[in-house]
Structure 1
Amino acid sequence: MIHITLPDGSIREFPGPVTVAEVAASIGSGLAKAALAGKINDTVVDTSYQITADSPLAIITAKDAEGLDVIRHSTAHLLAYAVKELFPEAQVTIGPVIENGFFYDFSYKRPFTPEDLLAIEKKMTALAAKDEPVTRRVLPRDEAVAYFKGIGENYKAEIIASIPANEDVSLYREGAFEDLCRGPHVPSTGKLKHFKLMKLAGAYWRGDHNNEMLQRVYGTAWATKDELQNYLTQLEEAEKRDHRKLGRELDLFHIDDHAPGLVFWHPKGWTVWQGVEQYMRKVYQDNGYQEVKGPQVIDKTLWEKTGHWDKYRENMFTTESEKREYALKPMNCPGHILIFKQGIKSYRDLPLRFGEFGQCHRNEPSGGLHGIMRVRGFTQDDGHIFCTEDQIQAECVAFTTLLQKVYKDFGFTEIIYKLATRPEKRIGSEESWDKAENALMAGLRASGCDFQISAGEGAFYGPKIEYTLKDAIGREWQCGTMQVDPNMPERLDAEYVGEDGARHRPVMLHRAIVGSLERFIGILIEQHAGALPTWLAPVQVSILNITESQDAYCREIAKLLQNQGLRVQLDLRNEKITRKIREHSMQKLPYILVVGDKEKEAGSVAVRARGNIDLGVMSLQDFQSKIASDITLKL
């Protein structure tokens, strides 16, 4: 007898070897129909997989994360099947699952066109409707190489030839198409219903620019029609919110080929930057941080001591002077330790909190650069707390509470909390890891946070909390962090004098709330679709006259509002008022004040709020009170 243990703890008995599909059928016809794969221990297998010994088993359906991966992997193969049907001379290479979908690379004599993409997707739909079974077979490596060479698939033969000679390889067939793959796959093509091909791109074979340029077809696949539609809607909304597009339209910044990966901030964009920086500076001042400033260029010997030279040298910009080698700093923490080491520190000085708007440079690959979200030069709201092990929990609680308020003020109300715990390769005693992990967990619990455990994903020297915010269209952005680090104080010989009169190593807590200011401003632009809240908007009020007779009154209003500390734009052009309103509305301004003779005589203004909302005529005093309230409430 073979005993199969299901996730609910129940056990099913079978007289002999049994497939995953047969187990699902024994549970119920509904599950048998929904089954995409099985999970035995931590391994996902086909529904045709035969179980020959007592085993735990979970039936994987489209509702499971693993099920969605199986759908996407199988849809990648369906894409290759369709391409071979339409373009028999095309050669298939690789087709992995990626976030939200998949891609497949092809070698073909001419570039695919958007029209080809539509034809391929149509063919995929037709092949899926045939509901052909997906079957697996295993061949010795050399036999598989010969097979693929025989059918003209030289790229597949090259892939298989790189596998050790004593290994077998698995092939999956659906209809007339057979492909190399480890699997698992859906039991039949009819399970693949909700997919869409997204775009074409180029990709070098094996990622080597010396090799042939292949054609990459990207696609997405989902378990349900609604999930697919929601994803496509999110992409459409994300395109509208793209910070690069809005940055141009709102005249905030630009990226120039003369300085790839670096940002040229325009006056309006720099106003937003200053709004974020000055807000965060006040956060420092109100929460016990001392602001410091370290140099940009530091001798490489410091980076050798910290270990960065060995690990990150290729991502560091370097320079030389008087036969000494220097690096532009990629991070601020070593500099903060050097500041800590100046003068004798006592346990009474701890916790000691340093904060810096530190400009860092990292030599990111050009292909990874993305607007102001991924750059080579960036500024962090970087803070480091020097404390004892016993102070970690209290600092975690204080920091989490602070971070929640900051995110709320910027318009983010949903935060995901993750605790990354000790990796397999680590330094330090188990006792110190226990203390650090328990302190961070206790801090999150004390802050009322539900959190996930990211097992084994901590740094080699300490655990960390990752704070991820969710934006208006459901995307997730990991910005904040709280990381325990006893390693760098050890490497750079940081000490304090304890209550016992002896010298001790402090623990260093790396913490950031917004992280890179460039990236965070990009996130803000996309979160608010360019319509930044009143307190942060580069121009808060535009004043528009109808005729020249209101010019002097408009200037009086502008002066009054500027004295209130508001950022005001005055438009006295001799243009139709409808045109001026339209132009200023496109700049997503919080308020537009329209002034005609009636308003001038009454000492009032006609107020239009963002979104073309007519708030009617107000006294200047009432408008001043309203906008002051917006700014106070961070609206």
Structure 2
Amino acid sequence: MLRCLRAGARSLDFCWNPFSSAQVRPSLRLPRVLHHCFFPSHPFGESGMGETCCGGDGSAVSKGKSKSKGKALHSGELNSKVNHRDSAYLDSVIQKRIGLFQSIQAQQVDNLQKVGGDPIRITLPDGTVKDGKKWLTSPLHIAKEISTGLAANALISQVNGILWDMARPLEGDCELKIFKFDSPEGRDTFWHSSAHILGQSLEMEYGGKLCIGPCTTRGEGFYYDAFYNEFTLNEENFDQIKAQALKAVHEKQPFERIEVSRDQALEIFSENKFKVEIINELPEDKTITVYRCGPLVDLCRGPHIPNTSFVKAFACLKASSSYWRGKADRESLQRVYGISFPDPKRLKEYLTQLEEAKKYDHRILGQNQELFFFHPLSPGSCFFLQHGARIYNKLMDFIRAEYKNRGYQEVVSPNIYNMQLWETSGHAANYKENMFVFEIEKQEFGLKPMNCPGHCLMFDHRVRSYRELPLRMADFGVLHRNELSGALTGLTRVRRFQQDDAHIFCRDSQIKDEVCNALDFVQHVYKIFGFNFELELSTRPEKYLGEIETWDKAEAALTEALNEFGKPWQINEGDGAFYGPKIDISVFDALKRKFQCATLQLDFQLPLRFNLSYSAEDEAKRERPVMIHRAILGSVERMFAILLEHYKGKWPFWLSPRQAIVCPVSDKSQPYALEVKDMIHKAGYYVEVDISDRKIQKKIREAQLAQHNYILVVGEEEAKTGQVSVRVRDKSDHLVISMEDLLTRFDNEAKSYL
């Protein structure tokens, strides 16, 4: 699950996406947890940023192209263009909400003062214990005791594993952590709070009915969706939006929190039908929280930074349209994306990096290199052309070769299953809307969106013995997920895809070794790709299935495996799936962007649902296996896109679809050029020959633009000596060598990645 789902576990996020993992009771949403774990969220483009974290998950899916680009915040003059703000209506609504907020807040503060004051002990990460008073001492008080520097930079705290506002009183003895911007917790909270500043600007300037305002799943920035009737936002509005945001920053508005009843929430937001709809759908037993900063009063689980002045740099990136709840028959909304930082230098660096990334968008590079395309007659399903298919297949062959060395059994499983399978697995009840379902002979069938249930059938098709474990089952089967058309984004959000999917069935005592082996597999693959990566252990959530003893053993095994692996790792308390703890692996590409691709997920529930068992050493006894979900590439389509941008279109030789091209100087050298091509082709490499009537300089230039790794120029002299003039991509010099030496060079370079 997303990091934000553990933020403030005592209350519920109020603006969730019914199409994301953060819908109702997120820890009980099996299919969306699986979706997140084994088909990681998609980071490119508008829709790629549409699934969200903290404070109002993306209930609206982007449907239109971006209409603007980023411009940095500055204290310039306000744009004088006329807007559609209904001042009288808006002023009355704002005053009403603030009045209700203050009234409820005053009552709650009074109640806390009456019950507070009992001594409590606050334990810090280094073991230091601080004294405090129940319902009176806050994390900010403790930060000030530690140092003024910490207090000045502390954005958010964690109390007993739950993210907590710095100014929120502590409720008892606790373990306390404090985070700055350079932590994932700090950044997510910072951008979530910045979304509220953006929402305040949109409401104050244009009177939009605010819908949802989260940070993005990718961990870079935030957005806010709002309804404006016929009004359309674009880049011309950005100066006004940013000026209003600057005003909020200068006012140092505190983020204040209250808990409200359902009736109170409905009264506060009675004029906003979107908020009312969300409130009415909340489970009866969930605490509702409301936050205020300045004139903005908003439904939000939080938590937030102490006040708006922490945001020192702010930019609007783009505007696009979206649908409420991601449904085309619902209201059309306007979405504004933003980014913010605690200092202007970071903003400048980010915007420079963003411009760099735009030049290497995989959709543009894929078109320029003739790798793939999409067609409206099959939305979300990619057509891989010859050169794209070479890369796609090479990625799978690479993983397949590793399977042979690492003891995996590759299997092939069906694409279509009777819905009885999905009822057993739990997907029919929780994931059916995201499946392609159809009727055959009066029975319902569905295209598989994941391989796990089918692999359970394969494990269970005969009696299993403990001697067979661990059983590592790998499958490149085609998967289909019924993603919303508005969410489809290049190769990063598709309906048809393949994964390097594997499921390991093992005994409890084998968990640690299997996880260590999987981590070694991950490191091997990512080192070849040139990725740095980081590890996070997500532990038992508030709502979970199974016995605590089982969870404790599993978490201990994962912890031991991570420690043995030797790479630094972080812990995400309470962020595991409801059916087991997991290790999330995030990679960083050449542009320093972060992606989650690989996941190691323990699963106690599918073996239980399918009643899987094996004969123990005591043959009279049956035991249940643990299931480990494991993906390294994740979606092959998505990894294709990430690598294309990571390499900036310049594929390494072993993965390149255009390894060499032969360019004859003239017609007289064409026969030899064709001989050279045949020799290279027979050696197993991708080679082309340019026999056009273009001048040799033009041929070389075209070959360079097409990103051939080697350009082989042959003339009459080379034909006589049986040699080639070799030009290596991105190198100005060239050399003349024999064909034997050339093929040896190719062999060495192709093997160098192993």
Deviates more, 1:115-124 or 1:618-627: 115-124
Are residues 1:229 and 2:315 paired?
A: no
My pick for the range that moved more, 423-432 or 511-520, is: 423-432
Asked if 1 retains the 8 angstrom alpha-carbon contact of 2:196 and 2:213, the reply is no
Match of residue 538, structure 1, among 646, 657, 666:
657
Partner of 1:459: 577
State whether residues 661 and 711 of structure 2, in contact with CA within 8 Å, keep that contact through their aligned partners in structure 1.
Answer: yes
Q: Deviations over 1:333-361 (max 9, x none)?
A: 33233333344433333333322211122
Mark the CA change 1:316 to 1:68 in structure 2 (over 3 Å): closer, same or farther: closer
Which whole-Å CA distance do the structure 2 matches of 1:426 and 1:50 have between them? Answer: 28
- The alpha-carbon deviation at position 567 of structure 1 amounts to 0.8
Equivalent residue for 1:107, pick from 217, 223, 228: 228
Tell me the equivalent position of 2:396. 277
| Pair 1:399-2:518 in alignment | yes
Letter in 2 for 1:323: K
Cα pair distance change 1:417/1:6, threshold 3 Å: closer
The answer to whether the 8 Å contact 2:255/2:306 transfers is no
Shift of 1:619: 3.0
> C-alpha deviations, 1:72-95, integer Å up to 9, x for none?
45544554565577x5x6335256
1:569 deviates by 0.6
1:473 aligns with 591
**Structure 1 residue 438 and structure 2 residue 556: aligned?**
yes
Task: Using structure 1 for the length normalisation, give the TM-score.
Answer: 0.83
The 5 Å alignment of 1:196-211 reads: 196-204=315-323
SS of 1:502's partner is coil
Q: Indicate conservation of the 8 Å contact 1:392/1:440, yes or no.
A: yes
Which of 498, 501, 516 is equivalent to 2:616?
A: 498
Per-residue CA deviations over 1:40-66 (Å, capped at 9, x if unaligned) read 88675577x899999999887656666
- Find out whether 1:567 has 2:686 as its counterpart: yes
Contact 1:555 1:570 in 2 (8 A): yes
* 1:221-370 equivalence runs, <5 A: 221-370=340-489
Task: Say if 1:80 and 1:92, in contact at 8 Å, map to a contact too.
Answer: no
For 1:441 and 1:23, locate their aligned partners in 2 and report how far apart those are by CA, in whole Å: 30
Question: Pick from 238, 253, 266: which aligns with 1:117?
Answer: 238
- The amino acid of 1:90's aligned partner reads G
Residue ranges of structure 2 left out of the alignment (5+ in a row): 1-116
Question: Is contact 2:503-2:630 (8 Å) kept?
Answer: yes
**Contact in 1 for aligned 2:255/2:305 (Cα 8 Å):** no
Partner Cα separation in structure 1 for residue 344 and residue 526 of structure 2: 33
Comparing 553-562 with 321-330, greater Cα deviation is found at: 321-330
* Letter in structure 2 aligned against 1:461: Y
Question: Deviations along 1:72-122, whole A, 9 cap, x unmatched?
Answer: 45544554565577x5x6335256241332333352653233222245435
Shift of 1:534: 0.5
Q: Secondary structure at the match of 1:295?
A: coil
The answer as to whether partners of 1:95 and 1:102 remain within 8 angstroms in 2 is: no
**Quick one: structure 1 residues 604 and 470, their matched pair in 2 at CA, closer, same or farther if it must change by over 3 Å?**
same
Q: 1:482 aligns with which of 600, 606, 621?
A: 600
1: distance between equivalents of 2:544 and 2:347? 41
**1:155, distance to aligned residue in structure 2 (A):** 6.9
Q: Equivalent residue for 2:79?
A: none
* Amino acid paired to 1:595: V
Deviates more, 1:445-454 or 1:247-256: 445-454
Partner of 2:46: none
**Bigger strand fraction:** 1
Q: CA deviation at 1:453?
A: 2.5
**Does the 8 Å CA contact 2:576/2:582 hold for their aligned counterparts?**
yes
- What is the CA distance between 1:388 and its match in structure 2? 2.3
- Of structures 1 and 2, the larger Rg is shown by 1
The change in CA–CA distance for 1:329 and 1:573 in structure 2 (over 3 A counts) is same
- Equivalent residue of 1:93, what SS? strand
Considering Cα pairs closer than 8 Å and 6+ residues apart, tell me whether 1 or 2 has the greater RCO: 2
Q: Secondary structure at the match of 1:98?
A: coil
Q: Which deviations, in whole Å up to 9, do the C-alpha atoms of 1:547-566 show, x marking residues without a partner?
A: 11110111121111112111
Q: Percent same amino acid at aligned positions?
A: 37
Residues matched between the structures, number:
621
1:371 aligns with 2:493: no
Residues 149-228 of structure 1 mapped to structure 2, 5 A cutoff: 171-173=292-294, 179-180=297-298, 191-204=310-323, 212-228=331-347
Q: Is the 8 A contact 2:256 2:292 kept in 1?
A: yes
Q: For structure 1, which segment, 327-336 or 337-346, has the greater mean C-alpha deviation from structure 2 after superposition? A: 337-346
CA distance in 2, matches of 1:342, 1:616: 60
Say whether the 8 Å CA contact 2:153–2:180 is kept in structure 1: yes
In the alignment, is the contact (CA less than 8 A) between 1:396 and 1:440 conserved in 2?
Answer: yes
Between 285-294 and 153-162, the greater mean CA deviation after superposition: 153-162
**In 2 relative to 1, CA 328–110 (structure 1 residues): closer, same or farther, beyond 3 Å?**
closer
- Equivalent residue for 1:428? 546
